[in-house]
Amino acid sequence: MFDGNSRKNVSEAGLATLSFEVSNVTGTKAFAVSGVDGTLPAGIIAKGLAEELALPQNVSWQLRDDDSAEFLDGTKEIGSQVQSGAHLSLTPKAHLG
């Protein structure tokens, strides 16, 4: 899933996969991600990326699209919210309000 390829791929089964760049909120850790199943919820992807970046697992994480400055809905498919080539930031949920 995290092989560094930065192009959109189509698996043998015909399911679209995504490739994008992700960094932690401070920008000190970043890497390319590819082969992400676009039908998975963004929240599941955020949790997996936090683990990959060795971020604390007792924190709820969310993804933010750096181009639009919008947070992704963790319950919706990631493929319906971003396209391959996107630049995302992994940020802790603030739980304000």
CB atoms within 10 A of CB 78: 25
Domain assignment present for 1: no
Whether residue 45 contacts residue 63, with contact meaning beta carbons closer than 8 Å, is answered with yes
Residue ranges making up the domain that contains 60: 9-92
Contacts of 31 (CB under 8 A, 6+ apart): 2, 4, 21, 22, 23, 52, 53
Q: What value does the mean pLDDT take over residues 63-78?
A: 96
When divided into structural domains, the chain yields a total of: 1
Domain assignment present for 65: yes
Domain assignment present for 51: yes
Judge whether residue 40 has pLDDT over 60.
yes
Prediction pTM value:
0.79
**What pLDDT sits at residue 87?**
97
Is the pLDDT higher at 10 or at 35? 35
Domain assignment present for 76: yes
Run of H or E including 47: helix 42-52
